[in-house]
Amino acid sequence: MNRRSFLKTTAVAASLAAVAPIVNVKSAKADENKFKEALNKITGGKTPKTSSDVKLVAPNIAENGAVVPIKASVNLPVEQVKAIHVFAKDNPNPYVFSFYPTTQNGEAFISTRIKLAKTTEVYAVAELNDGTFLQAFKKVKVTIGGCG
């Protein structure tokens, strides 16, 4: 390799490195918007309040993003709870599922396994019958992503 071609390649590499962070910031912003959109679809534009009545159990570190066990419950009488919605903030499709309990359930509790694409916050949003939204969230570190 002569000097000229070496300089050329390093220049290209340097410019690429300069461009890369900008791209990353953009995609992160798109994820944020996607999550807000999905949340607004459920809440109708309301912002959920963070509350200790909503309990979300998830691992701190998930080795396999394809199978992340989570438990979500609401510490209120089940008559008051209309639904529990779960979101994974940085997933390509942030909305994961909604759970609608009735009085026959006895407790507003759901346990399942979800996919996480990368390290992200998992949100559990409880919808109450009086129209208020409460939330709890937890950051889960993902070693291997599970969204294909």
Partner 1 sequence: MPRRAMVKIKPRRYKKGDIVTVATVIMHPMETGMRKDKKTGKVIPAHYITDVEVYYGDERVTYMKTTSGLSANPFIAFKLKVDKAAPLKIIWKDNKGDVTEKVVKIRV
Per-residue DSSP letter, 46: P
Using CA atoms of 86, 90, 92, 94 in order, give the dihedral in degrees to the nearest 10.
20
Distance (Å, whole) CA 134 – CA 124: 8
Among 24-32, 43-51, 95-103, 129-137, the segment contacting partner 1 (CB under 8 A): 95-103
Task: Determine how β-strand 49-50 pairs with β-strand 120-128.
Answer: unpaired
Choosing from 43, 95, 128, 141, the residue that interacts with partner 1 (CB under 8 A) is 95
Angle at 13 between CA 6 and CA 117, to 5 degrees: 150
Among 11-19, 22-30, 96-104, 129-137, the segment contacting partner 1 (CB under 8 A): 96-104
Choosing from 10, 102, 129, 143, the residue that interacts with partner 1 (CB under 8 A) is 102
Query: Is 27 exposed, middle or buried (CB count within 10 Å of its CB: 0-12, 13-18, 19+)?
Result: exposed
Choosing from 93, 129, 143, 144, the residue that interacts with partner 1 (CB under 8 A) is 93
Nearer to partner 1, 21 or 148 (CB): 148
CA of residue 85 relative to chain centroid, distance: 11
When asked if residue 40 is in the footprint of partner 1 (CB under 8 A), the reply is: no
Choosing from 107, 131, 139, 143, the residue that interacts with partner 1 (CB under 8 A) is 107
Output the six-digit token pair for 131: 């129209």
Total residues contacting partner 1 (rule CB under 8 A)? 30
Choosing from 12, 28, 30, 67, the residue that interacts with partner 1 (CB under 8 A) is 67
Q: Which positions lie near partner 1, rule CB under 8 A?
A: 66-68, 88, 91-93, 95-107, 109-115, 146-148
